[in-house]
Amino acid sequence: MTLHTGGAAGAGTWRLGDLTVNRIGFGAMRLTGSAPFDLGTPSDRERSIRVLRRAVELGVNHIDTAAFYFSSLRSANELINRALAPYPDDLLIATKVWPGRDPSGEWWWATPGQLRGQVEENLRQLGRDHLDLVNLRIPPSRQASSIAEHFGALAELRDAGLIRHLGVSNATLEHLAEARSIAPVVCVQNPYGIGAPPEAGAVLRACGEQDVAFVPFFTIAGEGREAGAGAGDGPEVLSVARAHGATAAQVRLAWTLRQGAHVLVIPGTRDPDHLAENVAAGALRLSDDEMARLSSHHRRSGADLGSC
């Protein structure tokens, strides 16, 4: 069969604070070059702009980006600005702070007092006077530490009107509880998909119980992470894809969307054809048997990943 789509609305909608978005969004990380964070070969500027405009035409109204998404000659935020400003009224642009990169590409991590500068840099690049949603991206070294100072600094910027809504990224259950004690949290943005470790599912479920959106990344890439999807699709994923005339990536997105109505996906690409395929995944309806087979593979893969 051929998988058709009515656009990004095919998977339904959810709320990010007082803003309603289609559950299939778009991640801007891959727009800038031959590999994310690569300062070598830049992307085709006009092609990236066409992909962004086509995404909005297909109903995408949730775009995820960051000021540190840049490569030689290309910045994701400035591509978004060039492609989409003046912005549609229903378009939500989410960004993230705490990590940063200097012009040479070297990473650095902001102090609480430096977060305002990171927020203002996103505002400048995007050409906006406020940010719809800012996620506090927690570094691996802080997984067992308090985030109160950093999240409190963002809460102050929210009170000042520079930010509309707040979220956390790479967060544990403890981080979510701590952040919610400081200011409202509208989303958690964590890696998740088939093969994710068991603790990732605990955060997803907690978000559903607390009416917080869960926004997974690396849903398609899995263990490939920033490098992209590899050869990790098992026989269950490929069998379900063949049965639907779909791609493995579409099956991974459809399975993830079925984990809860509060789950939003943000697949990214520089390829217009892949964009259309990703959006079409919202129309893919997996049977209960297929979900069970994929979930069995998920549990086995998660156990393997958890031991790494």
Q: For residue 245, what are the β-bridge partners?
A: none
Largest CA distance in the chain: 55
43-46: list long-range contacts, CB under 8 Å, 24+ apart. Answer: 43/71, 43/74, 43/270, 44/270, 45/73, 45/74, 45/79
* Dihedral sign from CA coordinates of 275, 167, 224, 258: negative
Separation between Cα atoms, residue 151 and residue 167, nearest integer Å: 9
Separation between Cα atoms, residue 143 and residue 225, nearest integer Å: 19
69 a catalytic residue: yes
137-140: list long-range contacts, CB under 8 Å, 24+ apart. Answer: 137/66, 137/96, 137/97, 137/98, 137/99, 137/169, 137/170, 137/189, 138/98, 138/168, 138/169, 138/170, 138/171, 138/175, 139/98, 139/99, 139/109, 139/170, 140/170
Separation between Cα atoms, residue 107 and residue 227, nearest integer Å: 18
Q: Which amino acid is at 155?
A: A
The H or E element spanning position 292 is: helix 288-306
* Dihedral sign from CA coordinates of 290, 296, 301, 306: positive
Provide the H-helix boundaries in 127-210. Answer: 148-159, 173-180, 198-209
Q: Which residues lie below 8 Å from residue 47, measured CB to CB, with a gap of 6+? A: 270, 272
Q: Which of 26, 68, 69, 70 is catalytic?
A: 69
- Active-site residues, by number, are 69
